[in-house]
Chains A and B, each alone.
Chain A
């Protein structure tokens, strides 16, 4: 009975409301904008992901160039490519680079480009540690952590329509803004949950590649032993959960870690290839 009254009230109200004029409302334009926002959220396809990633990678290389050592770069590419082959996105154009910077850090760029700094590499003691860090970064690419963060942030910074334009027009002003924003993001970092997921799944990927998966926790322990005030790790600490928290969270992975702990660490190959 009460429902009936409500319906009758609504029926009376609707025509009344329709009499109000909505000034200058272009309904088609509104629909297009809504469509564009929807497309931007759901539809960054793999080719666009790779293209955006290449542009962001180029900027990061503008911040720090590669270490001028072809053998070192090829070595790191072999480790990374082998790990990537064990994942659900084995055929992305995976590329790995050592940046000539003394800071300790690593970056994953959408579409399969991964950077590690000379500073971080110098603190490592084995190939399994390198594999652990690369596997962590590979997870960011697999799960599109940065791509999603770029989308989320860009939606606020640009209108939905502009984001769509940025995706379609390479070299246009909207695209430039998007790439700039995407690069700047590496100074701010991802959600903590994304970082902890990259740790957990990174351990799995290192184990799939046949490495001792303790490499990643070992690197995190090395970071923990450093002074957080050190300028070389300031950005890394700002953009990641505290090492103690990461180690605590990795205890959930203890069964996987222990099942493969006796696998190769490849200390000698690492020394020969990365410490010449």
Chain B
């Protein structure tokens, strides 16, 4: 049943990927840069809590648009959400899937006694058949290495931070 519904839902699934522009605020005063680099030219100085619209991300930088113009800021300096800022809510994808799964328009995700809410976790019963299936999907180290090579992922020594 879920399989049948998927083609219909696909455009909805892709929508959040396309709709990238999101309102955000700056967690502190920040320089708006012409390029995603610390040594790039400064376009403007943005005050703390300045409202911007996010456009795209590149590494640790996000391209934003605001009253001071367009440019790049540190992605970690951006905050989304907050009161009134959220847009997804219950009309988001989760609910569409609930409908697809349960055939109702309710906000409860429960199908039978299953589910990942706190009370459902407390009453969960063992499922050894799924556990066995999961074991069958496991990757071994050699397989994982081949997968990494295929993706051009190079193992790199990086130290843990000091506690």
| Interface residues of A, Cβ cutoff 8 Å to B | 54-55, 57-66, 70, 73-74, 77-82, 85-86, 90, 93-97, 99, 101-105, 113, 117-119, 122-123, 125, 127, 180, 183-184, 186-188, 200-201, 204, 207-212, 214, 217-218, 221, 224-232, 234-235, 238, 243-244, 247-248, 250-254, 256-258, 260-264, 266, 269, 275
**A55 lies within 8 A of B126 (CB):** yes
**Listed residue (A78, A183, A207, A247) with the most chain B CB atoms within 10 angstroms of its CB:** A78
With beta carbons under 8 angstroms apart, the residue of A82, A184, A232, A263 that contacts B145 is A82
Stretch at the interface among B41-49, B63-71, B81-89: B81-89
Q: Is the CB of A61 within 8 A of B130?
A: yes
Q: A62-B126, A212-B59, A247-B79 are in contact. Are A97 and B158 (CB under 8 A)?
A: no
Decide if B86 touches A85 in the complex (CB within 8 Å): no
Q: How far is the CB of A37 from chain B (nearest CB, A)?
A: 26
Known: A187-B119, A232-B94, A260-B158. A227 touches B153 (CB 8 A): no
**Assuming A187-B122, A264-B151, is B138 touching A77 (CB within 8 A)?**
yes
A104 to chain B: which residues have CB within 8 Å? 94
Docked Cα-Cα span, A85 to B127, in Å, equals: 28
Given contacts A78-B143, A230-B88, A231-B94, contact A103 B109 (CB under 8 A): yes
Minimum CB–CB distance from A82 to chain B (whole Å) comes to 4
Contact across chains for B124 and A82 when beta carbons are under 8 A apart = no
Specify which chain A residues have a CB less than 8 angstroms from the CB of B158 in the assembled complex.
Answer: 204, 207-208, 256, 260
Whether the Cβ atoms of B157 and A208 lie closer than 8 Å is yes
**A258 & B60 in contact (Cβ 8 Å cutoff):** yes
Residues facing A in B90-143 (CB within 8 A) are 90, 92-94, 97-98, 101, 107-109, 114-122, 124-128, 130-131, 133-135, 137-141, 143
Known contacts: A102-B109, A226-B92. The answer to whether A60 contacts B121 by CB under 8 A is yes
Q: Is the C-beta of B13 less than 8 angstroms from some C-beta in chain A?
A: yes
Q: Which residues of A contact B76 (CB under 8 A)?
A: 217, 247-248, 250-251, 254
Nearest residue (CB) in B for A206 is B158
Say how far A44's CB is from chain B's closest CB, in angstroms: 21
User: A227 contacts which of B88, B130, B147, B148 (Cβ < 8 Å)?
Assistant: B88
A257 to chain B: which residues have CB within 8 Å? 60
Indicate the member of A62, A94, A263 with the most B CB atoms within 10 Å. A62
List CB contacts (< 8 Å) of B139-163 with chain A. Answer: 139-141, 143-145, 147-148, 151-161
* B137 partner residues in chain A, CB cutoff 8 A: 66, 70, 73-74, 77, 95-97
* Minimum CB–CB distance for A259 against chain B, Å: 8
CB-defined A-B contacts under 8 Å, sample of 16: A61-B127, A61-B134, A63-B120, A81-B139, A119-B97, A187-B118, A209-B156, A214-B59, A214-B60, A224-B80, A227-B81, A230-B86, A230-B88, A234-B117, A235-B117, A264-B153
Output the nearest chain B residue to A90 by Cβ-Cβ distance. B141
- Give Cα distance in the complex from A58 to B160, angstroms: 32
Instruction: Give bound CA distance, A138 to B127, whole Å.
Output: 23
Is the pair A63, B60 in contact by a Cβ cutoff of 8 Å?
no
Contact of B147 among A57, A78, A224 (CB under 8 A): A78
User: What are the residues of chain A within 8 A of B22 when measuring CB–CB?
Assistant: 225
Query: What's the minimum C-beta distance from A108 to chain B, rounded to whole angstroms?
Result: 14
Interface string of B7-38 (1 = CB under 8 A from A): 00000010011000010000100000000000
Residues in A whose Cβ lies below 8 Å from that of B128: 58
